Amino acid sequence: MDTNAEIEKLREDLRHHSKAYYDEDAPVISDFEYDAMMRRLIELEEQFPELKSSDSPTQRVGGKASLQFSSVRHAVPLESLNDVFSFEELDSFITRTNDALGSSPIYVTEPKIDGLSVAIEYIDGKMFRGATRGDGVTGEDVTENLRSIRSLPKEIKNAPPRLIVRGEVYMSRDTFSELNAEREINGEKLFANPRNAAAGSLRQLDSKISASRRLDIIIFNIQLAEGRNFQTHVETLDALREMGFPVVPCKVCTNASECRVQIEWLGENRESLPYDIDGAVIKINSLSDRVTLGSTSKAPRWAAAYKYPPEKKETVVQDITVQVGRTGVLTPKAVVAPVRLAGTTVTNATLHNQDNISKLDIRIGDIVLIQKAGEIIPEILEVIRDKRPADTVPFKIPELCPACGASVIRDEEESAIRCMNVECPAQRLRNIAHFASRDAMDIEGLGISVAELLINKNLISTPADLYYLTVEQVASTKQKGGTFANNLVNAIEKSKGNGMARLLSAFGIRQVGQKAAKVLAMHYQNLDELCLASVEELTNIPDIGPVTSSYLVQWLNDPHSMHQLELLRKAGVSFESRETRLDDRFAGKTFVFTGSLVSFTRDEAEALVESFGGKSSGSVSKKTSYVVAGEEAGSKLTKAQTLGVPILTEEEFRNMIAPNE
C-alpha cells in the first residue's frame, strides 16, 4: 500500500471509529488500538506534510454535537491531549517543555478518568448550563441530565460571577455491574464498559433515565473564573474543593522521574479507584507557563496523556465451564491459572460463544495469551500452539442445559446457544420479573427486588406460581408485611383478566414482544387456538415471519411450557383475546406519536392504530406514514419535517378514527 493510500485508509477508519466512540457510545476497538492508528497517521502526516488535510481526524477533537440536543458553543475550547505511549516519550515531552521555557517547571500528575468530558457553567454561584465536549468548540446541552448527578453542586458559595469548570462524567464499577445485571434480566443489550454506559446515560433525551443510572462526576479544571487570579493548577483544585466540587487527586512532581513513579503507582492501584482510568495526565503546574507554551490546533503544549498499554501475559487453561445466564444463553468461561493483569489477579476469561472457541481452537490444558479487553474484561487473544500438550481435545458446548438438563438451541442471529425452558432455575428471576413487568402482565408492586425476595423464600420458582400465593405466605417475607401482601396478591389477582396478548408477551418467547402478541391475538380467539397453529400457518400472518413462527411453535409445544400453561389455566388466568380489529382503514400505514397527547395515553393511541389494521413505531423514517404531534413534540417532529413525513395534530388524528358513516 502506498503512503497516500495508507493515509486515506487510516483517516477513513479513524472517522468510523471516532463516530462509534464519541457519537454512538459503542466503540468496536480498544482505546489503545485507536490511539495506535492515530499515532501512525500523525507520523505519516508529519513525514509527508504535502499530504496533510484540514479535515483529517488529526485536526479535530472528539465527536460532534448531536442534532437531538441544543448546541452550545464553548466559551473556552475543550481541548484534547497529546498522547505518549512510553516513558521515553514522556521524557521527550518534559525535555521539550523545559527547553521551551528555559527552566525546569513543576508538574502535576493526575489519573486520566475514562468517561465523558463536560463543561459546566455557573452564574452568580448557580448552575446555569452544562454541555458535552463535542468537537471541542461546540457541544450538546445536557444541563438537565447533569442536574441529576448528586455529587455535582447546583449552587456554590463564594463563587466568582461567572465560573466554568471542566470535568469527567463517569459510572462507578459497582453501579455499572448493577445496571448490566438489571439489563440482562430485562433482556436488554448490555453495556460494554462503564465509559459507554456513562456516555449513553448522560445523552438520554429523558433526564429521568439519566437520573436512574446514578452517574458521578469529577472536576479537573477551571476553564474560566471571572475576577479570580490563580497562579497554579494546584491552587485552582484547592479552590474547587472549597466550593464543594468533587476534585481529581493530583501529585506534585518536580521532574520526569517523579512523574514516572506516580504513573506507575496509578497503574498498579487503578483497581482501588472508584472510576476506570485509561492513563495518567501530566501537566505543568504554573498557569503563566501554560500561557507561554500555548496550544496547537487541538491540544495544549503544556500537557500530555500517558496511555497504559493493555497488558498481555501467558497462562494455562485449567478448565472450561459453561454458565447459564438469566436470559438462557449458555456462556463458556475459561478457568485459568492466576495471572496479574492491569492491577488485578485474573482467574477467569470470557470465551464468548462456541464460534469463538472453534475459531481460536481453545482447549483445556492450552497455554494461551490473555489480556484485559478495554481494561475491563479478561479475554484470550490466542493459543500458543507450539506449547500445546499432546492429549488436548476440542471443546464443544453441551447439547443439554447445565442448569436444568433441557435441550438447547442455536440462535443463528446471535451465534448464541440458548436454553428455552421456561422452568430453568438459572432463568428464574428474569422470567418472573419479565412476566410481571409493565409491558407484560403489569403486576403492580412486583419488581425485580420483590421477585428475588419471593424466590429466596422458596415461595415461587416459575411465573405460574405467582397465582397460587396466599396473603399469609407473602406477609411472612417482611416484618409488618400485611399491607404489602394484600396489595401484591390483589394485583396478581387483577392481572388474571389481562387477556391473551399480554399473557403471550409475558412468556418472553424469542421475538414475540408486545406488537407480535397483539397481532396474534387479533388472529386467534384464545391461546388454545394458537397452540394448534403450525409454523406455516403462522408465517402467513402479516408481521409474523418464519423465525418468529418457529420460536413460537417450539415454545408452545415444549413440555415445560405446556406445564406452565396448565397451571395458569387452573389458576383462572384468562387465555381469551381482548384485541378487536374494527376495520382496515390504516392497513399498510405506520404511525409515530410524539409529544404529550390530551385525549389518549401513548399506549391507547397505539392500540387504536392497531385496531384499525395499522402499525405504530417509536422512530421516524422514510417509511413512516404519519407523525402525530402533541404538545412539546421534540426531535421526532423535527426529523419528520426534514424527511417530509405528513404531520397530524391530535384533532386530525381523532377525525381519522371517528366512526365511518
Catalytic residue ranges: 112
Confirm if 197 and 176 have CB atoms less than 8 A apart.
yes
User: CB-based contacts of 457: which residues, under 8 Å, 6+ apart?
Assistant: 476, 477
Cell numbers linked to 405: 438438563
Confirm if 356 and 416 have CB atoms less than 8 A apart.
no
- Cα gap 464→243, rounded to integer Å: 55
Buried b (16+ CB within 10 A) or exposed e, 88-100: ebbbebbeebeee
Phi, psi of 140 (to 5 degrees): -100, 140
- Return the SS3 of 642: helix
Residue with cell 399469609: 472
Give the DSSP letter string of 264-310: HHHHHTGGGSSS-EEEEEEEESBHHHHHHH-B-SSSBTTEEEEEPPP
- Cα gap 366→103, rounded to integer Å: 55
Please name the helix (run of DSSP H) or strand (run of DSSP E) that holds residue 633, with its range, or none: none
Cell numbers linked to 303: 500537557
| Torsion of Cα atoms, 522 then 525 then 526 then 531, to 10° | -80
User: CB-based contacts of 36: which residues, under 8 Å, 6+ apart?
Assistant: none
Beta bridge partners of 329: 418
DSSP strand pairing (303-307 vs 83-84): parallel
Give the DSSP letter string of 409-452: EEETTTTEEEE--TT-GGGHHHHHHHHHSTTTT--TT--HHHHH
> Of 564, 329, 326, 510, nearest to 426 (Cα)?
326
- Cα gap 126→244, rounded to integer Å: 13
Sequence-ordered strand ranges (E) for 88-187: 107-113, 116-123, 126-132, 138-140, 162-170
Residue with cell 454541555: 131
Cell numbers linked to 292: 507561554
> Of 281, 232, 225, 328, nearest to 84 (Cα)?
281
- Cα gap 438→433, rounded to integer Å: 10
Phi, psi of 407 (to 5 degrees): -70, 150
- Cα gap 497→156, rounded to integer Å: 54
Q: Running DSSP on this structure, what letter comes out for residue 541? A: S
- Cα gap 407→409, rounded to integer Å: 7
First to last CA, the chain: 72
- Return the SS3 of 76: coil
